[in-house]
Copies of this chain bind each other. A is one copy, B any other.
Amino acid sequence: MISLVRPIRFEEVDAAGIVFFGRFLGYAHEAMELFFAGVEGGYPHLVMKRRVGFPAVHVETDYHAPLRYGDVLTIETTAGKIGRTSCTLVYRFLRQDGAHAATVRHTCVLCDLDTMTKIPIPPDVRAILEAHRSSG
């Protein structure tokens, strides 16, 4: 499990005064960038130089408790299912008071960004996934 702690920012709430439901996927991606920080050259290098992409194919979010400006979020990231060319990342969102705010399940397919065709999960990416498999 890799944990990211980040405060909710001023412009991340909506007109109802709570964090906009679409923002949770931006937070998830932030956590994903940290999760894969240990790949060779780092995650931006993976995308920009090695041209490996992770387009989402299916994302499911359960929202349990609202987040507001002033809250501090902890995102715990683990790997769920790991296939040959695809994987599922699971992000648990916890509020500073311990409330379970949301869970995002994010299935992506590894691809070559120049050709947009599927590729097998590269070994260094796979090693990180294997090291952080969710227990459940």
Contacts and interface: CB of A to CB of B under 8 A. Distances in A.
Contacts of A21: 25, 29, 55-56, 59
B17 A11 contact: no
A123 B49 CA distance: 35
Interface string A1-37: 0000001011101111110111111101110010000
Contacts of A20: 10-11, 26, 29
User: How many copies of this protein are present in the complex?
Assistant: 4
A42 B96 CA distance: 15
Interface string A30-69: 1001000000001011011000010111111111001011
A125 interface: no
A113 interface: yes
A113 B9 CA distance: 18
A69 B57 contact: no
12 contacts: A9-B30, A9-B33, A10-B15, A10-B16, A10-B29, A13-B15, A15-B17, A15-B69, A22-B25, A45-B70, A55-B63, A59-B61
